[in-house]
Amino acid sequence: MIHKHELADLRENYGLHVLLEQDMDKDPFKQFQKWMEQAIREKIFEPNAMTLATVGAQGQPSTRIVLLKNFSSKGFVFFTNYESKKGLQMADNDRVALSFWWREQERQVRIEGIVSKVSAEESQTYFHLRPKGSQISASVSPQSKIVSRETLEKAFLEKAEAFENEEKIPYPTFWGGYIVRPSLFEFWQGRPNRLHDRLQYTKQGDLWEMVRLGP
Which member of 11, 64, 107, 194 is catalytic?
A: 194
Fold of the domain built from segment(s) 7-128+173-212: Pnp Oxidase; Chain A (2.30.110)
Mean of per-residue pLDDT scores for the chain: 94
**Average pLDDT, integer, range 38-48:** 96
**Average pLDDT, integer, range 49-72:** 96
User: H-type helices in the chain, by residue range?
Assistant: 4-8, 28-41, 85-92, 120-127, 132-140, 149-162
Is 88's pLDDT higher than 80? yes
Residues 6+ apart with CB under 8 A from 119: none
Q: Return the minimum-mean-pLDDT range out of 15-19, 38-42, 50-54, 135-139.
A: 15-19
According to CATH, where is 2.30.110.10 located in the chain?
7-128+173-212
Condensed to tens digits (0 to 9), the pLDDT of residues 151-189 reads 999 999 999 999 998 888 999 999 999 999 999 999 999
pLDDT at site 4 = 63
Is 1's pLDDT higher than 80? no
DSSP assignment string, 120-173: HHHHHHHHTTS-HHHHHHHHH--TTS---HHHHHHHHHHHHHHTTT-SSPPPPT
Instruction: Tell me whether residue 194 is one of the annotated catalytic residues.
Output: yes
Condensed to tens digits (0 to 9), the pLDDT of residues 98-111 reads 999 999 999 999 99
